[in-house]
Amino acid sequence: MLLTNLGVMAGVYVGKRLLDTHKSRKIAVNQTLAKTEKQPPEPDTDNLHHAKVSGASLVVVTAAYFLYPPLNLLGVGIISYNLVPPLQRAFRALPTDKKVNNDSYTSLVTVLLVGTGNYFAAALHNVIYHTSTHLVEKSRADSARLAADAYQQAPETVWITAGGTEQQIPLEQVQTGDGVIITTGGAIPVDGRIIEGAALIDQQALTGEANPLEKVEGDPVMAATIVLSGRIVIAAEHSGAETRIHKLNELLQQTRDYKSQLQLKGEAWANRAALPLLAASAAVSPLIGVSPALALLFSAPLNTVRSMLSVQTAAHLRGILQRGIFIKDGRVLEELPKIDTILFDKTGTLTQTHPQVVNIITCGGLDADTLLAFAAAAEQRQEHPVALAILDAANERGLELPEASHSHYDLGLGITVQINRHEIRVGSERFIRQALDNPPLPAPLRTALQAAQGHTFILLSVDGEIQGALELHPRLRPEVPALINTLRQRGFKQLAIVSGDQQTPTQRLADTLGLDAAYGGVLPQDKAALIRQLQQQGRRVCFVGDGLNDAIAMKQANVSVCLSSASAITSEVAQIVLLDDSLEPFGQLFDKAEHLRNSLGKSLYLWIGFGATNALAVPLLAFGPFQSSLLYGAAYATGLRLSDQQNVKNC
């Protein structure tokens, strides 16, 4: 009987491999003819199919036991058919892993069970393996689908040249070779080569290179870098759709491949237990018999540890996403419980997306409308909150904006442009005064600054002469006070504001919200330096921002969060995006991360307990493969039910 069973298994395996090879070649030929870049699917990826077929094998061997024993031969054939995928995976992994893993352990145990006539235990072992694999892939696919949907909800637009005119279109519509326009302060949306103009480009957020690079016609440029000065037209090397798909694929790779440290520890524990159990089973077989020795092999629940922890992790990610929190990198779930310091950007983060222009101070030859029109023309294609506030004010007055050219952007400070052959500077007081060798402020402006109690002022100069300023007032997001109270109750060491704005308004807002510190007048690179300094003191820092100048700080932080209205580069760098453009869900993140860690810990202890229980039941209760497989199946079903209940209740 042993030789018959092994012969059937070998024949089914060889036949299945030959059939899969033929199908793969046929798919490859069809795809080559279709000139597609997609690779043929591997023959062992149809997990749902094998889960269903393995269920059929369980029905057949049960019927053979109670009704018609010759059906066992059919059951062996079906079990052998379902054994092909784990065997293929085991053979592929052996040269690199060089150890017993889940696939090789499952394959060996199934062969031993079938060879010794334990058909029910072999069929049930197969069912659990394929069901687990299906559940893991399904949970990952569901998470990936939700992540893709969330990503598609944030469309990007770009400017291109077409027929001598400039048009703004969705990024997905950009074709290879299209001329994409990027001006001062803009983020380069696609990889390409400059075909017109020159620019100073900041690559720090992408490559870590602190010094901007001068790029001219013929030079390549990379997506997600920033034009600090100049205007360039680049020939897109990839279509916009390809760029979006590439970003999405990177995102989905992070989402699908994420495993928590507890999950990795659990899998490592199960893998480490596998070889000793095989050795112990072989050693005690002459003493206690083959059947009890095989029952011992169920004490290493590799399938269940892998599937339960993966399903729980994916369910948490989905639940968090359904609450409007898009986690792009699952590793932050483990980092969040360790966070003890939270730094908030001020403008556009704690305050609403952009402030409001409440006053225009003139102190030269320009009237208020002209001053505002010049400022709006300079900021016309900028994305930061101050620029949006100025443009809104100009639109409300119905102003016609002059054409600006030869722009130069100083990140986080201001912008210099040419308008009607005049040099226009728009920016902070520090930016204007440094550029003009620290001239004294005109009396009307000095008086306004003294009376303004630290509100934001954007100064404007024409040909080296200060002409006036725009006074902007922030509008606090309504959800912020409640959020700060929630965070305060969690006992963080420090909650603080970090802003490029002046110290006085920054400190006032911190005092209003009851925050621990306010860091005003901080340049973009200094934000990252501040985070680095806190980290050197042993702090774990979460940074919450939205602006183009926050990207460097986000890369330095242990956890980075942005709102959905953030600039394109900031959204790309941030590990977490709040999809509803509200800070309200932010406080829930820490509870969800804690709950995931606790749930995974409980599941891991459950399966360690199961392994010990089965190992003790073999000598004490005379368990054989049939009893151990039933205990295994019951524990697996119970674990699935408990996991579902926990996830529904808490996510």
pLDDT tens-digit map of 223-255: 777 787 778 899 988 766 666 555 555 555 555
- Dump strand ranges (E) for 399-455: 404-410, 414-419, 422-427
Residue with tokens 């939205």: 546
- Predicted pLDDT at 40: 37
Closest residue by Cα to residue 565 from 545, 549, 586: 545
pLDDT at 19 over 80: no
pLDDT at 334 over 50: yes
Where does the pLDDT of residue 208 fall: very low under 50, low under 70, confident under 90, or very high at 90 and above?
low
Q: Which residues contact 90 (CB under 8 A, 6 or more apart)?
A: 101, 103, 104, 107
- Dump strand ranges (E) for 263-388: 325-327, 341-345, 356-362
Say which CATH architecture domain 356-473 belongs to: 3-Layer(aba) Sandwich (3.40)
CB distance 131 to 147 below 8 Å: no
Q: When comparing pLDDT for 426 and 564, which is higher?
A: 426
Show contacts of 634-637: CB within 8 Å, 24+ apart.
635/301, 635/304, 635/606, 635/607, 635/610, 636/128, 636/301, 636/303, 636/304
- Which token pair is 528? 């990252």
Angle in degrees, 0-180, between the axes of helices 102-115 and 71-97, rounded to the nearest 10: 150
Where does the pLDDT of residue 28 fall: very low under 50, low under 70, confident under 90, or very high at 90 and above?
very low
Say which CATH architecture domain 157-239 belongs to: Distorted Sandwich (2.70)
| Per-residue CA distances from 511 to 50, 395, 496, 503, 552 (Å) | 62, 34, 10, 12, 27
Angle at 212 between CA 211 and CA 213, to 5 degrees: 115
pLDDT tens-digit series, residues 105-157:
888 888 889 888 899 999 999 899 888 888 877 776 776 666 666 555 555 77
Angle at 162 between CA 158 and CA 167, to 5 degrees: 40
In whole angstroms, what is the distance from residue 553 CA to residue 276 CA? 48
What would the mean pLDDT of 407-411 be, rounded to a whole number? 78
pLDDT tens-digit series, residues 257-287:
555 555 555 566 666 667 787 888 888 888 8
- Helix or strand or coil: residue 187? strand
- Predicted pLDDT at 328: 78
pLDDT tens-digit series, residues 302-311:
777 777 777 7
What would the mean pLDDT of 520-539 be, rounded to a whole number? 89
Closest residue by Cα to residue 125 from 116, 134, 135, 114: 114
pLDDT tens-digit series, residues 593-626:
888 888 877 877 888 888 889 989 999 999 999 9
Strand partners for 471: 359, 457
CATH for 324-351+476-584, options being 3.40.720.10, 3.50.50.60, 3.30.110.40, 3.40.50.1000: 3.40.50.1000
Tally helices (H) and strands (E) across the chain.
22, 20
Where does the pLDDT of residue 33 fall: very low under 50, low under 70, confident under 90, or very high at 90 and above?
very low
- Predicted pLDDT at 153: 53
In whole angstroms, what is the distance from residue 433 CA to residue 412 CA? 15
- In whole angstroms, how large is the CA radius of gyration of the chain? 32
What would the mean pLDDT of 203-222 be, rounded to a whole number? 73
Domain boundaries, the chain: 1-137, 157-239, 258-323+588-651, 324-351+476-584, 356-473
- Predicted pLDDT at 227: 81
What would the mean pLDDT of 217-222 be, rounded to a whole number? 88
Where does the pLDDT of residue 36 fall: very low under 50, low under 70, confident under 90, or very high at 90 and above?
very low
Q: Give me the chain's average pLDDT, please.
A: 80
In whole angstroms, what is the distance from residue 285 CA to residue 287 CA? 5
- Which token pair is 637? 């079903």
For the chain, percent of residues with pLDDT exceeding 70: 80
- Predicted pLDDT at 188: 82
- Which token pair is 316? 């948490």
Which DSSP state fits 171? G
